[in-house]
Amino acid sequence: MGQGQSSDNGNHPTTEQLSHELALKFAKRCFTPLELYSFQDVFKSLADHQNSIAYLKEDTIARFLEIPDILGASSIIFQMVSYLGAFPFGQDAPVVLGFEQMIMVVVIMTQRYQRVLKKGNRDRTKLLFRSLAVYDRGSHNEDEKPEEHAADKQSHEAPSASRSHAAGFAIDDAANDGDDEDDDDLALAALESLDAIEVFRHGDAPISQASIPSDNLKKLIMLLLLIAPLGIQESLARHSERLVGDQLEGLRRTADNILAAFVNVEKSPGVKIHQFNTVIPISFPYLFTGFNPLFEHFLFSKNIDFTKRKDSSTAPPPPPNHLENQPLLAQTGEILDLNVLSQLSFFLPGGTLFRQLRLLYSGGDAGFSMGSFETKVFNWRAPTILLVAGNRISEPPEGGQERAFSDRLPPKRFPDSGKSSRVVFGVYLSQHWRQTHKECFGETDTLLFQLEPVHEVFHASSINKDYVAFTKPPTAHSGLFFGCPHPKAKQTAGLSSHVSLGAVSLMLDSSFEFGVFTHNYTSGGGAFHNSETRKADFQDRFEIESLEVWGCGGDAEAEQQRQRWAWEEREAEARRRVNLGTGDIEADRALLEMAGLIGGNRSGGSMS
């Protein structure tokens, strides 16, 4: 590590001394005694030695964490940890990963630093950006050619190496939110905890000159998708089946969709800090959560027998974890598979997804109709996730059904969102489904999102509450509406023959044949907020290929749904057995009373 600058009077400690003091503080307050003992044992068993210095190498870390070679992410992880090991003096990176440096790495990667430094995820996000970034020194080396620094070479070089790259996203042009001269708050907090704030140095290159190579970020995203469901002390090798054949291709496609949220790879080779800070809080708040269990492997030594007590008696074995024996996804849908499930966990807590989702409705199995949708979904009394996939229809539409659908919509004024023909959208709904007659339902935690070809999450407005509408005939326009004004029954029929679409909205027609997603950026948003990165008007009209609804919850929710289905079946059976028209009015009345259809003040035809 580099030697710190001291003041003229020489009273200030060096950066090496401060790093040592911070490592001790982290070790005492962020690890339990048993975790620290395990960490020491793991480091000792893995370390190489040179001139009495113990350190970890890249292949050692990759092998210990079981990072698959096929992902090509080992060098990227090593670049990250070599930077984080220098914390809080990033300008000294990359560092040799000795014992104290690895304490810094594990504390940051598992977010245990929050026990000492009361800072939020945004600070860690910036720190992770710096650990992944390369720096543009092109203004100082004008003779350098960009092609000399291909992406596959960048991942093996130190973060401070010379770089040159093209301009980034257009959203960087007007970005001046303090990132350029923003201090690294987490580093400042660390020094403040040591009463050494005056030692903070501004020797690191400006973050505005940094970018993450797109190829590197894609490899990292593939790893993050793979480790998203990882449990405490769970081996990553258990998920090796996701790295072969169609699963691997699906992993790559999903990573491409996620990468598209950050950068247009055709126009820019790298992701800038403004894009990183803009996209992650909105669309990927849990993107790096998988690092927590992955790096906690350093805190569990296989050489220590945790079943032994001091009196040499054997401790009772821990109760079996039945969840670990359950599959991450009980059944694969036409849209939802393990890769898409991991993608969802980047913005929905994984604890509500992995081993928790149940397929309630699939159009391919139950039929594409609102009736079958209502039968399968309405009895679920827990959050649900709706997914719809399809292919864009041509403009102007060619077939008769396509033209009929387009005639119901206002004239198309916006272009398609991109070149890809396949689109996937979805909705997360915490309330249970119901038919709407006059107004929409849903809460402010309702999410409208796109998964393909660009991942993006549209959060609900707290003012406009036109979140979800499920309308059946005789409503003028029946179907599923998300972010659209409620199509009131009959009264709109004489005013307009067109469906009223919201500024940011998704609509599926009543036959579940066609859908339309609208992003009217110019209008300023509606029930769902505008995109923060795609600052343009666009509309995708598509033919529905697959539609499915997944219930979030465990056995209790499933049992509640089963009981409601059983009750409805008994009611239906009671109605079928009522034998009316026999001439025996009293017998007919008795049967209706037994079925609970009449009685008290009820009339013969009333269910209320």
Beta-bridge mates of residue 509: 479
Calculate mean pLDDT across residues 542-557.
86
Distances (CA, A) of 375 to 160, 336, 372, 515, 569: 60, 21, 5, 21, 11
Which pLDDT band, with edges at 50, 70 and 90, does 2 fall under? Answer: very low
Could you give the 3-state DSSP secondary structure of residue 96? Answer: coil
Calculate mean pLDDT across residues 139-148.
39
- Do 97 and 230 belong to one domain? yes
CA distance 437 to 107: 53
CA distance 472 to 489: 9
Cα dihedral 238→239→241→245 (10° resolution): -160
Calculate what percentage of the chain has a pLDDT beyond 90. Answer: 61
- Do 564 and 548 belong to one domain? no
CA distance 159 to 216: 13
Beta-bridge mates of residue 213: 270
Distances (CA, A) of 524 to 442, 449, 461, 464, 533: 21, 18, 11, 12, 14
Task: Tell me how many helices (H) and strands (E) the chain has.
Answer: 18, 15
Domain assignment of residue 331, yes or no: no
Half-sphere exposure of 239 (CA within 13 A, CB side): 27
CA distance 78 to 131: 10
- Do 531 and 588 belong to one domain? no
Domain assignment of residue 74, yes or no: yes
What are the pLDDT digits (tens) for 336-366?
Answer: 999 999 999 999 999 899 999 999 999 999 9
Could you give the 3-state DSSP secondary structure of residue 310? Answer: coil
Beta-bridge mates of residue 413: none
551, 561 contact by CB (below 8 A): yes
504, 483 contact by CB (below 8 A): yes
Domain boundary among 299, 316, 339: 299
Structure-block tokens of residue 410: 């206002």
CA distance 596 to 608: 10
Amino acid at 481: F
Helices 33-46 and 58-65, axial angle in degrees (round to 10): 130
CA distance 571 to 264: 56
Domain assignment of residue 26, yes or no: yes
The burial of 91, by beta-carbon neighbours within 10 Å (0-12 exposed, 13-18 middle, 19 or more buried), is given as middle
Sequence-separated (6 or more) residues with CB below 8 Å from residue 590: none
- pLDDT for the residue numbered 78: 98
- pLDDT for the residue numbered 560: 61
Which pLDDT band, with edges at 50, 70 and 90, does 267 fall under? Answer: confident
Element (H, E) at 302: none
- From first CA to last CA, the distance across the chain in angstroms is 77
Structure-block tokens of residue 14: 């060096």
Calculate mean pLDDT across residues 515-521.
97
Domain assignment of residue 341, yes or no: no
- Give the count of domains, the chain: 3
- Do 434 and 576 belong to one domain? no
Concatenated DSSP letters for 202-244?
--SPPGGGEEEEHHHHHHHHHHHHHHTTPPTT--GGGGGGGGS
Domain assignment of residue 335, yes or no: no
- pLDDT for the residue numbered 423: 98
- Do 366 and 244 belong to one domain? no
- Do 546 and 570 belong to one domain? no
Which range, 306-315, 441-450, 474-483, 497-506, is most confident?
A: 441-450
The burial of 497, by beta-carbon neighbours within 10 Å (0-12 exposed, 13-18 middle, 19 or more buried), is given as exposed
What are the pLDDT digits (tens) for 240-259?
Answer: 999 999 999 999 999 999 99
DSSP code for 447? E
- Do 527 and 570 belong to one domain? no
Check whether 589 has a pLDDT greater than 50: yes
247, 241 contact by CB (below 8 A): yes
Beta-bridge mates of residue 344: none
> How many residues can be counted in the chain?
608
Which pLDDT band, with edges at 50, 70 and 90, does 608 fall under? Answer: very low
Sequence-separated (6 or more) residues with CB below 8 Å from residue 495: none
- Do 443 and 564 belong to one domain? no
Calculate mean pLDDT across residues 542-554.
93
- Do 499 and 562 belong to one domain? no
Other C-beta atoms closer than 10 Å to the C-beta of 41 total: 15
Structure-block tokens of residue 51: 């001139």
In the block, which residue shows the tokens 């793979």?
226
CA distance 79 to 129: 11
Domain assignment of residue 239, yes or no: yes
- Do 233 and 365 belong to one domain? no
- Residue whose C-alpha is closest to residue 167's, from 138, 140, 142: 138
Domain boundary among 229, 264, 299: 299
Core vs surface per residue 312-332: b (16+ CB within 10 A) or e: eeeeeeeeeeeeeeeebbeee
- Do 546 and 561 belong to one domain? no
What domain range is 574 assigned to?
556-594
Distances (CA, A) of 385 to 377, 433, 514, 547: 11, 11, 19, 11
CA distance 106 to 294: 10
Calculate what percentage of the chain has a pLDDT beyond 70. Answer: 75
Domain assignment of residue 320, yes or no: no
Which pLDDT band, with edges at 50, 70 and 90, does 578 fall under? Answer: low
Which range, 89-103, 306-320, 476-490, 491-505, is most confident?
A: 89-103
Domain assignment of residue 439, yes or no: yes
Q: How many angstroms from the chain centroid is the CA of residue 177?
A: 24
DSSP helix, strand, coil percent of the chain (3-state; round to 5)? 40, 15, 45
Calculate mean pLDDT across residues 586-590.
66
Element (H, E) at 129: helix 121-132
- Do 65 and 76 belong to one domain? yes
Domain boundary among 553, 584, 603: 553
